[in-house]
Chains A and B, each alone.
Chain A
């Protein structure tokens, strides 16, 4: 064997080539050529390739029968309405001390009871006033008023007059309220969220009780009482912020016009001017929002798991109706959180200051996140909890710092959470208890309680220098309430600041915010801070321009300079501020930020600003009044951002004048294809035809864009479409497939014979054959029908017959059904017949026709099962077809219904005998494919809910029922949607989002499908995408272990997801013939090439964070001159760096590993260090399974002093 022979050597005698000089084997450092065992795949024309490795895990290539269970644990985050929490027969003892003793508290902290029932019941939100009194909104009526019940919910005020850390006075400030979900003291009373209204309650005679009620705003939706107006909070700018959640539709009249918000979001309101705006849109249930020391906003979401969200003004977040683009959270895969407080102050240890605390009320935890700056935005990292417990009624939902520097936690105290899944009137719902806990750092002095109300203005001003956010915040509130009379003192205070004070810029910023609170413009101070040394101060000052620009002399000039600032966050703030200025010049200035590095947040901000200002600048551009100073890149960005029809002509001009850089051509052409008219599409078409052969990828994607244009808008390029045929000369099957699909759509008769040829060809990809058959069907006619029917007949291979049957459904449903039954009768499950069933199910009358054809026929049992699962994946009922399949397959399937005693028995067994470690194995088994649809901590499928904390929140009875009867209760946002299209098809999936033009569904196999709204005839809600009968293949023991495993997830113990940043989602190289061929022909190193012949399938670490080696797809290579073989696996993960620099990659051991970073060899050792640029990176390992037994555990760690920010990519 000659090592220099390289890729020329025969497939039977391959060598492995390393980078550069030579060849090396993997993990042994010697030059050992390997031969696959038992034999390399034969590759010949017409041969159906089979899986070379006897490896049941290689499911993406070789589908084994069980693998095709459309196993979707979709229902798994819900409780059934009637029987939820059935095992909750023991209501915990409400003694607060029992609850307190159950807390596991972070080292160095202790918890004491500040207040408990009967002093308060059911606290929802709390805020301190400037006197240090704690105001609490509480509701005993929640979740729903009963006819005849008096709405008598309360706002109470707790005081700790003696300073002992315990409330010693309670005052009912107001009662008679209906589910008040928020309270924020201020303006002589308190603002209260009272269902449809934001009211202000005032105590005009000092009696401590509200005697005046004023409606401030009205028209908030109440479609869900845990979504209604909430999270009231004053901003540093003197504005009141409040949130609403996903089901709410609000229509608020203001003196400036109606403000509407459908879905979640954060409102921003200035009471004295009545100006109300939407500060951010989206979120599912954002019950946490706070500002950091520098005025930046962070939010948490009680129903969506991405941890801390950095909120940039005007941005859209997950679930924003109609949003074309959203900003993601900083901790994907993290569970859901309620309430939020950013810590500060001398009482807390230094490493806790600036941290974010929030509550996982499902999992009974108070969670901690550490924020750090990361380019324009932030990175957030979860750390071990402040408090965790298994106490079933501990429901922390709000968290605030107090005047003494301690942390206060509102505990809603309820064994039952939620009101969707558990009956409103369930007697176990708690309506009487509630606690406020106080957390202090052991052995550290408390902060002296600030006395601000009676202090002199000078003293209040000096409080703006306090290290505690609490004190500075309330000092600003007090100054604001004292009004404009404080202005002279404020000006003098600013003048008197010591220039040598290292914190002077922050003091000045507090003063600037005080001016803003008072709504008094102070250009001089603003200008000073716009030029501050600290970029955080410059960013905060830049944001102030958003609100003052109409009253400043030179706002454009100021923002122009900030758009070119050295720090990306200042640029981002400038870009967002410019969106508020309705002048065409504003967009030009914003686009200057493109001249510096642009991270994804800045990119988003630019995109948003360009869109928001479109109505201003587009007409100017069209009138020739706007030129972006001749900068094509700026113009191009703005045009692509708006993506509207108005942008098409300027984009065409840019393309035709050759001003578009090559690497952006494809995206520009795709946009033209998506929006343009026939003439403009012709230009795109011409470019596709003229492209050279290196641009196959571009050609394919542009052909897809043209296909979309025809499907969605009915527009085709002008001119001779038959020219498309010339692309069929390409040897690339992908391109030819795209051409054939499009040619069918365009009904190009001229290519009919070509379709015939492909349909009958032997060596051709399945996709091209299917496209050819389908295009033939579209062209129709007796010749097509005859040819397709012939191919569907018994003379063809099974795969070809199935493809032909699928195509035939478009032409002749009953003939297709007859032939389908023929092929299904003889098929095994080696070739997945799901698509055959799906082809019928998506057509009107398809199911009925198939039923007729099945009459009196027999199918293999497994095939019939797959058929039933295909039916269930549609979310619709086809009882006749299910019955026909049961009969044909000789099956006895049906949902396993447990009687109440049986269920109790099973619960008992689960608690007594269930083994979570065995259950995890069941969960991970590929034939259950739980992970195909469900992620744990972000790693896994995205079709169903993430299960990381399911055990902590879901009772066992409903876990069982969700597996056995997935349709009984379906988690919000996980109902399937069934869409009937005008073409007479049915599509089913989970709605991901809906834009102005299309509906995006996530199908049962985790694909996003975009359906043009114009094509939708009707839509209906379906059930869960998780099919029933999923557990049919499980033994009772396996089911019990599986449920036990799920019930442990998120609970304190080994199945709680670690805070370490571990790689949980991997990809393993599939041992396809192509992969074998490539590796054998070239070298192991080819595994890290981006060769499209390589196919990578997902695999996941277990809950503890270790990737078990048996999860990997393996390659077997025969050792030369030996009967022994070596087993290898290739596995890779991705890391995205948002700020460049060094990071550590810690391995549990490097035994048997060879590593690459971005395709370049890296030393595999326990403590690897990578220097990462700001982009996506891939770490690949080859694992010699003969040399390594233990699983692979990789942790991303920071390197001291490095500014790097990186995150591990999760997902499916």
Chain B
């Protein structure tokens, strides 16, 4: 192989802008304790972690704590948290669950379940929402209201979502109004997710019309990112190689980790637009070139194609963010055992005289959670690896030889 050894420190010309920690009002700072509160949309997020990973990597300086308090089937009234008691007790539990975390930021996602009550239930929902927000006021947390997602039309025999979507929009609008009146941050997930759902090329985001798949969470992490006013990180770059094909080593350029790679259940052939890294490479002599990074074959193209820009499969350098996401998921799982332990009836409930002695185990999850959070704090910062990657352009005929 005759590739030319030419190592250069390159000046990066980033086509996009590096993110700022605070954009258009939303931001997280060192020491923030973020609660996710809501229904299945929130509850299932913890098992994939894409939303939380997005926030962790975007706000990567300092110590942040995320607590997922989602509960399937929940409403602003605390229906799903009632346990053996009444809805009023469920609401009381909701209040205690949130306040025990001492949150500084609360993401609130309700309305999907309530929306089945249609127009007639709207006023009741509004009242419930206001009571909830009033109840959470003493936490002094910054609150972010999330609209419900649209229902996706996955064809028959699943239901036609048209009618339900009218209601979902109504409830989303009610949330927007309340947010506006109270000066809270509002995230409209409905419109941008509906746009995604309309684009067949992106593949379905749900498997039942209403609940995101892991791919759905991966996709909507960017929706949420954008809706929070965070400009997407564009890590495409341009390099002028001058006279000859060459090798070069470069340091990961970002101050923010890239998005995690799409999950395995991402439908084949979907557009990854917005997530890719494009490299434009000027100065290559005519011919076909293979780009290898760290010795791995990445892409081939003519000099003209390279000059115009080629999309790189970024999987080779996504280890860190994927590790971050897995830690987040693991942390969420441990925290779930902490705040929603199994056998509550015996540990804390009316049969605690039988197994209450074991309830001492439950706080033992706290140090385990904290340990993972310390790792998460490190992993979310791209600076920690400082790994330089070796880029290599190899003329095609040389490869064939």
Q: Which residues of A contact B (CB under 8 A)?
A: 81-82, 143-148, 151, 179, 195-196, 211-212, 214-215, 218-219, 221-225, 228, 247, 249-258, 260, 262, 272-274, 419-421, 423-425, 519, 969-970, 972, 975, 1021
B391 surroundings in chain A (CB, below 8 A): none
* In the complex, chain B residues 60-88 whose Cβ is within 8 Å of any chain A Cβ: 71-74, 79-80, 82-84
Give which listed residue, A250, A253, A256, contacts B159 with CB less than 8 A: A256
A348 to B24, CA, bound (A): 75
Interchain CB contact under 8 A, B345 and A247 = yes
Q: Could you give 10 example pairs across A and B, Cβ below 8 Å?
A: A215-B44, A223-B345, A228-B342, A249-B83, A251-B72, A255-B164, A256-B116, A256-B159, A273-B158, A274-B208
* Binary flags per residue of B18-47, CB closer than 8 Å to A gives 1, else 0: 000000000000000000000110011001
Decide if B355 touches A219 in the complex (CB within 8 Å): no
B353 in the interface (beta carbon within 8 A): yes
CA distance A228 to B39 in the complex (A): 20
A144, B73: Cβ atoms under 8 Å?
A: no
Does B364 reach chain A (CB closer than 8 Å)? yes
Q: How far apart are the CA atoms of A247 and B354 in the complex, in Å?
A: 15
Instruction: Check if A274 sits within 8 Å of B44, measured CB to CB.
Output: no
Per DSSP, are chain A's interface residues mostly helix, strand or loop, or mixed?
Answer: loop
Q: Is the CB of A253 within 8 A of B72?
A: yes
Q: A228 to B345, alpha carbons, bound, how many Å?
A: 12
Task: Provide the bound-state CA to CA distance between A600 and B116, in Å.
Answer: 37
Bound CA span A224–B353, Å: 15
Q: Decide yes or no whether B368 CB sits under 8 A from chain A.
A: yes
Q: Which 10 A-B pairs have the closest CB atoms?
A: A251-B73, A219-B72, A147-B364, A251-B80, A257-B116, A222-B342, A219-B73, A81-B354, A273-B157, A223-B345
For window 241-293 of B, CB contacts with A under 8 Å fall at 264-265
A219 touching B80 in the complex, CB below 8 Å, given contacts A224-B345, A423-B355: yes
When the two chains form their complex, are residues B354 and A420 in contact, meaning their CB atoms are under 8 A apart? yes
Which of A82, A148, A218, A975 has the most chain B CB atoms closer than 10 A to its own CB? A218
Instruction: Return chain B residues, CB-CB under 8 Å to A255.
Output: 151, 158-159, 161, 164, 208-210
Residues of B near A254 (CB, < 8 A) are 208, 210
Cα A367 to Cα B44 with chains together (Å): 42
Structural contact, B358 and A425, CB atoms closer than 8 A: yes
Find out whether the CB atom of A251 lies under 8 angstroms from the CB atom of B79.
Answer: yes
- Looking at the assembled complex, report how far the CB atom of A1018 sits from the nearest CB atom of chain B, in whole angstroms: 14
**A260-B79 contact, Cβ under 8 Å, with A252-B72, A255-B159, A274-B158:** yes
Rounded to whole angstroms, the CA-CA distance of A1209 and B343 in the bound complex is: 37
- Indicate whether B351 reaches chain A with its CB closer than 8 angstroms: yes
User: Is B130 in the interface zone, CB < 8 Å from A?
Assistant: no
Which of A222, A257, A421 is within 8 Å of B340, CB to CB?
A222
Q: Among residues 325 to 339 in chain B, which have CB atoms less than 8 Å away from a CB atom of chain A?
A: 333, 337
Contact between A253 and B342, CB atoms less than 8 A apart: no
- For residue A1122, give the distance in angstroms from its CB to the closest CB of chain B: 63
Q: How far, in Å, is B330 (CB) from chain A's closest CB? A: 10
Docked-complex contact A253 and B354, CB < 8 angstroms? no
Determine the chain A residues whose CB is within 8 A of the CB of B337 once the complex forms. 145, 147
In the complex where A219-B71, A253-B210, A419-B343 touch, is A146 in contact with B361 (Cβ < 8 A)? yes
Contacts of A212 in B (CB 8 A): 264-265
Residues of chain A lying within 8 A (CB to CB) of residue B361: 144, 146-147
0/1 interface trace, chain B 151-186, chain A, CB 8 Å (1 if under): 100000111010010000000000000000000000
Which residue of chain B lies nearest to A321 when distances are taken between CB atoms in the complex?
A: B84
- State in angstroms the CA–CA spacing of A81 and B359 once bound together: 14
Closest beta carbon of chain B to A988's beta carbon, Å: 16
B344, CB-defined interface residue at 8 Å? yes
- A196, A223, A424: which has the most chain B beta carbons within 10 Å? A223
Chain B residues with Cβ under 8 A from A221's Cβ? 83
Interface string of B185-220 (1 = CB under 8 A from A): 000000000000000000000011111010000000
Q: Pick from A145, A260, A272, A419: contact of B346, CB below 8 A.
A: A419
- B357 contacts partner chain A, Cβ-Cβ < 8 Å: yes
Q: A225-B343, A253-B39, A253-B73 are in contact. Are A81 and B357 (CB under 8 A)?
A: yes
* Distance between Cα atoms of A964 and B187 in the complex (Å): 63
Complex: A327 Cα to B41 Cα, angstroms:
38
Query: Which of A82, A260, A274, A421 is close to B73, meaning CB atoms less than 8 Å apart?
Result: A260
List the B side residues contacting A146 at CB < 8 Å. 361
Q: Which residues of A contact B208 (CB under 8 A)?
A: 254-255, 274
Contact between chains at B346 and A251 (CB < 8 Å): no
Known: A146-B361, A255-B151, A274-B158. A223 touches B349 (CB 8 A): yes
Is there contact, CB below 8 Å, between B72 and A218?
yes
Is B113 an interface position by the 8 A CB rule? yes
By a CB distance below 8 angstroms, the chain A residues around B344 are 222-223
CB pair B213 A253 closer than 8 Å: no
How many residues of chain B are within 8 Å of chain A by beta carbon? 53
Judged by a CB distance under 8 angstroms, whether B365 is at the interface is: yes
Q: Smallest Cβ distance from B63 to chain A, in angstroms?
A: 22
Least Cβ–Cβ distance between A372 and chain B, in angstroms:
39
B254 CB to closest chain A CB (Å) equals 31
CB distance from B205 to the nearest CB of A (A): 14
Query: Looking at the complex, which one of B151, B159, B342, B368 makes contact with A195 (CB distance below 8 Å)?
Result: B342
Residues of B contacting A969 in the complex (Cβ-Cβ under 8 angstroms):
353-354
Give Cα distance in the complex from A425 to B358, angstroms.
Answer: 8
B113 touches A258 (CB 8 A): yes
Contacts of B73 in A (CB 8 A): 219, 250-253, 258, 260
Give Cα distance in the complex from A262 to B87, angstroms.
Answer: 12
- For the complex, give the distance between the alpha carbons of A993 and B343 in Å: 23
User: In the docked arrangement, what's the CA distance between A262 and B159, Å?
Assistant: 26
- Please, which residue of chain B has its CB at the minimum distance from the CB of A212? B265
In the complex, what's the smallest C-beta–C-beta distance from A26 to chain B, in angstroms? 54
Report yes or no: B342 in contact with A144, Cβ–Cβ below 8 A: yes
A214 and B80 in contact (CB under 8 A), knowing A145-B337, A969-B353?
no
A258-B349 in contact (CB<8A): no
Cα–Cα, bound, A1183→B267 (Å): 82
Contact: A251 with B355, CB < 8 Å? Answer: no
Evaluate contact between B211 and A253: CB separation under 8 angstroms. Answer: yes
| Most chain B beta-carbon contacts within 10 A, residue among A81, A421, A423, A969 | A81
**Contacting residues, chain B, for A260 (C-beta < 8 A):** 73, 79-80
Give the residues in chain B near A82, CB-CB below 8 Å. 357
User: When the two chains form their complex, are residues A975 and B350 in contact, meaning their CB atoms are under 8 A apart?
Assistant: yes
Chain B nearest CB: distance from A1163 CB in Å?
55
Find chain A residues with CB under 8 A from B112 CB.
253
Select which of B43, B159, B341, B362 is within 8 A of A218 by beta carbon. B43
User: Considering only CB atoms, which chain A residue lies closest to B48 in the complex?
Assistant: A215
Tell me which of B82, B213, B365 contacts A249 (CB under 8 A).
B82
Nearest chain B CB to A924 CB, angstrom units: 31
Query: B328: shortest Cβ distance to chain A, in Å?
Result: 17
A419 engages B355 (CB within 8 Å): yes
Contacts of A145 in B (CB 8 A): 337, 342
Q: Tell me the complex Cα distance, A917–B112, Å.
A: 65
> Is the Cβ of A519 less than 8 Å from the Cβ of B343?
no
- Contact partner, B40, options A253, A272, A419, A420, Cβ 8 Å: A253
Complex Cα gap A260–B357 (Å): 31
Contact B210 A972 (CB under 8 A): no
Chain B residues lying within 8 Å of A274, measured Cβ to Cβ, are 158, 208-209
| Chain B residues whose CB sits within 8 angstroms of the CB of A970 once the complex forms | 353
In whole angstroms, what is the CA distance A250 to B83 when docked? 9
Binary CB contact string for chain B from 106 to 130 against chain A (1 if under 8 A, 0 otherwise): 0000001100100000000000000
Complex CA–CA separation, A252 to B211 (angstroms): 12
Which residue of B is nearest A218, CB measured? B72
Report the Cα distance A1021→B351, complex, angstroms: 10
**Min CB–CB distance A261 → chain B (angstroms):** 10
Contacts beyond the supplied A145-B342, A420-B355: 12 A-B pairs with Cβ under 8 Å: A146-B361, A196-B340, A219-B43, A225-B343, A249-B82, A251-B71, A254-B210, A255-B161, A256-B159, A258-B79, A273-B158, A969-B354
Pick the contact of B355: A196, A249, A253, A424 (CB < 8 A): A424
CA distance A221 to B73 in the complex (A): 11
A842 vs B214: C-alpha distance in the bound complex, in angstroms?
59
State the CA gap A57–B267 with chains docked (Å). Answer: 79
